[in-house]
Structures are given as structure tokens and as C-alpha cells.
Amino acid sequence: MVKTETIHTAGIIPVYQLTEGITEKQIRYWIKQALEGLSDVTDLLPQKLRTKLGLVGHSAALQNLHFPQNEILLAQAKKRLTFEELFLFQLAFQLYKKTLKNLPSPPITFNNSLVSKFVESLPFKLTPSQRLAAWEILRDISRPHPMNRLLEGEVGSGKTVVAGLSMLEVASSGYQSVMLAPTEILALQHYETLKNLFAHTEIETALLTRSHKIGSLSKITSGHTKVIVGTHALLQEKVIFNNIGLLVVDEQHRFGVKQRAKLQNTSADAVPHLLSMTATPIPRTLALAFYGDLDISILRELPRGRKKTITKLVKPEGRDIAYKFIKQELKKGQQAYIVVPLVDPSPLDKSEGQKATTEEVKKLRTIFPEFTIGMLHGRLHGEEKKQIMDDFKSGKINILVSTTVIEVGVDVGNATIMVIENAERFGLAQLHQLRGRVGRSNLQSYCLLFAENAGETTRERLEAVVNSTDGFELAEIDLRLRGSGEILGTRQSGFIPFKIASLSDTKNIELAKKEAIALLENDDLKNYPDLAAKVSDISRQAHLE
């Protein structure tokens, strides 16, 4: 029996998040009962490893976490449980890496003359980091085991061109390349870019989304179409591929593991090479923890001729001056985005002053009566979105009021103003992504952050965006201020497996990786069935690719 009078007064007392109707005393009593049944639970960490690192047992760690008698025992418990979380996750990564090495993939022959001719035909010069990234990818896909590479680059850094170079090689070797995008707008953008890149080649490109089908399914099935771009529509059973050699997944954290696996398993003889792309700069510690030994190529420079976007934080009293400035730029023939958090005013969200597209359009038509204003949001059908974007690109629409649906994939060089309403509601990574929608030509661009309710911490975040255009620097700040789940947008998806470990704990992450590699060199976990089962469970839940 548990003596309730001792568990509520002894040692350091933990504080728990409570649900209505449950007290701290009740939770401590239930936890004490649960812990009494854990004495015979198998410890997942091998005894040799625990001894080597001076780690207490799992049951003792849980006991001292919830009912520590002193600070030393509490610290020992946190040390043990922190290492265990990181170690299990790194084991999953290392096993995945070993599995990849044993799988066959089509070796793509490197055709130097083809690549050189293609690069020379481009209307622009590749940046040094584009050249390096392309070389790393072409080297990887020439090997007989699957490439697993992340192409990471700022918005507008030219990731699609780098992916296009690898698709060129894959097509010349007789295989298909499939590019999976999270939104129709982004898929259409990629399709148009690739179609233009391959205009002087014999490579046929197709687009398949819910609203658009450019190219025939029969040509995809026969293998005649070598480059296929699309959204979730590519996962339909009626879409039968011929022989996928390369799978390119843009903003890969937005797709489920099963969705990606479905495309990877379309070839019975070999596993396609995988290139993941993201415009979300990932801090070094986060990349190490989440991507393990995934090879990473980084595009750091923007194409030549691009000017840095000037960013300003606009206080409520400065709104009228900002509108006058926007009007001046519009009169020069430039265009503007105005981003708001919602489509319609929400009675469920009581946040004071929160903007919505429908209300904003009505207001802006009185402020800018001489300019055409369009509205874009996720509720519109694909054809409606395309028409609005076509009108904006052609200049028929001067101001585009939008939700964050334009966060990725929109490229209009004449748009030089980005206004973000309720900027305090967005994270640094998202603000940086939205800012990247302008500054896509040699014209000077501006990003205006309108914040109605900016406290001290919020102002620190917004000032960081004002003072830096370096996405990697901002990602480090975002990690410190908001946490890893907010950066990757995965807090609600169950992707974050850590309860105690911190992703800024570089020392322990590297130690966990080192020990995971050492254990697997001598044992594939056959002698540790409970550990193997737990690692397998983590592998199923996490995006290891």
C-alpha cells in the first residue's frame, strides 16, 4: 500500500499539468502506485552501456524523477532519461541507414557532356553552392544503393534547378523522376520551371494535381513521360509509373511516411533515389537530431542580381504612413501581397484584432480605390486559385490579399511588397518564408510587419526578422524561443518524440549518436529484443527519410 501522508510531503515535490477535477495529490498517488509495479520491468539500455556512462537504471530514474529525495538524485534521473530518448532515436536512424545500404537502386550514369551542355544553355549562371549541391546529388545517384539527401536552401535559392539537373541525368539513363509537392500552387510552379528548363531537350514533363492534368496517364505508364510533377494526386491507384529512378519530395515534413513509401515502392526491382527539399532553414542541432546521418546539401547564396529585402516593423500608429508608401510603390507599377491569418473572422478565436481576408479586402478597397485587389485562400478550388495567380502574374491584380497559402511556391518578380498582418502570430521561420515571396528579381523589395499586440518576447522575435535576412540565423533564434516542433510545424503530428531531452543539447546528441553506432557495429539488436522492439516503434512514427 502507498502511504499518502509521505508522498505529499517528502523530498522535492513535482508539479504536474492538471485536468479539471484532478488534484496534484491524486496524480502523485496514482504515479506512486504505477511505479511500485515497475521494479521488474526490463531496462532497455544494455548494462555495459549504463556502467560505461554512469547511468542509473530505468526504474530508479523514474522513481527519482517523480519522487526525488534530493537534487543529486533528480539530476541523475534526468541524465539517464535524456540520454535514453536521444539514444533510441539515433539507433533508429543508424538502423535505417544500414538498411538503405543493403537495398538496390538504379545506378544513374554520369554524362558529363550532357550536364555541361545543359548548364551552358541556362539563361543564368549557377551559384557555387548550386554547382556543389548538383555534383553531390549526381555522385550519390551514380551508386547502386539509394541516395537519401536533403537539399536545403533559402526561398529563391534555386533548388528546383538543382533537382532538374539530376532529373536530366535520370531521364538520360531511361528512368522516370517524380516530384511530389504539398500544394497545387507549388506543384504548378515546379512544373512550369522544369518545363522551361527542359524546353530544348526531348524530355517530356507532366503535371498531375486534383485540378490539373497536363500529359497522359498512358505515357506515364509506358515510361515515355520522364518527369512527373504533382500533389497527393500522384498517389492514386490509377496512376501507374513505369520505372521510377528518382523521387523528389518538396517540404517533405508535410507528407506522411506511408505516402512517400507508396511512391518509393512502385519499382519492384529497385528502390528509387530520394531527394528531399526544404526552404525552411534547419538549425545544426535540429538537423543532427532529426536527420541523423542524412546527407545535406545547402544552398546559401541567392542568384546574382538579387537585392536584400528591406524589413520594417510597423507599429499601429505608423499604419497610415505605411499605406502611403505602398501606394507610391504601386504607382510605379509594382505589386503587393498582404497576408492575414484567417479567411473569415472566427467567433472561436477571441484574439483581439486578428485579421481575416474577407474583412481586409473590404477595408483595402477604400484605402486603395484605384487599384485592383484579389483574394487567395485555401478554400478556393484549384481552378480559382490558378486564375487568381495568373491574373496577379500578368499584372491584372495589383494587391493580392492572401492567407499563408502563398508561403511556398509563388514566384512573381514584379511583386516587391510583402505586408504581414498580425505578424506576432507567426513564427520566425514562417515570417522568413513569407518574406521570401518578394525579392525575386533585381527590383528592391520591402517586407512590412504589422503587429497589434507585441509583448517583449514577441518584439524580440520580430526585431530578429527586421535585423537579419539569414534564414539559418533566424532558425537558431526560433529554436531557442519557440522550440523544435514549432520550427518544423510538427508539434501536432507526433513527430517530436522527446519528453525530457532538448534539441539544443548538442553534447548529448553527439554522445548518443556515437554510442548508437558503436552498439550496431557489434550487434544488430538481436541480443536486445526489447530494445529492438522500441526502436522499431520509433522508426514507424518518425520521418527517418
What is the second-level CATH architecture of the domain 112-299? 3-Layer(aba) Sandwich (3.40)
Angle at 538 between CA 100 and CA 268, to 5 degrees: 35
How far, in Å, CA of 536 to CA of 528, rounded? 12
User: Which grid cell sits at 6?
Assistant: 509521505
How far, in Å, CA of 65 to CA of 67, rounded? 6
Question: What is the CATH T-level fold of the domain 310-468, as seen in this structure?
Answer: Rossmann fold (3.40.50)
Q: Per residue of the chain (545 residues), give pLDDT as tens.
A: 444 444 554 567 888 877 888 888 888 888 888 888 776 678 999 999 999 999 999 989 988 888 888 999 999 999 999 999 999 988 988 888 888 788 889 999 999 999 999 999 998 899 999 999 999 999 999 999 989 898 998 777 889 999 999 999 999 999 999 999 988 888 988 999 999 999 989 999 999 998 888 888 899 999 999 999 999 888 887 888 988 999 999 876 555 455 556 666 565 578 899 998 988 777 766 676 666 556 889 898 877 777 889 999 998 899 999 999 999 999 999 999 999 987 555 544 444 445 678 888 899 999 999 999 999 887 888 788 888 988 999 999 999 999 887 766 577 889 999 999 999 888 888 898 899 889 888 899 999 999 887 677 788 889 999 999 888 888 878 777 766 555 444 443 445 567 888 777 878 988 998 999 999 988 778 889 999 999 988 877 765 55
Asked if residues 141 and 108 have their Cβ atoms less than 8 Å apart, the reply is yes
Angle at 429 between CA 425 and CA 430, to 5 degrees: 50
Q: DSSP readout, 98-149?
A: HHHHTS--PPPPP-HHHHHHHHHHSSSPPPHHHHHHHHHHHHHHTSSS--EE
User: Which grid cell sits at 247?
Assistant: 523521387
How far, in Å, CA of 358 to CA of 364, rounded? 10
| CATH 3.40.50.300 segments of the chain | 112-299, 310-468
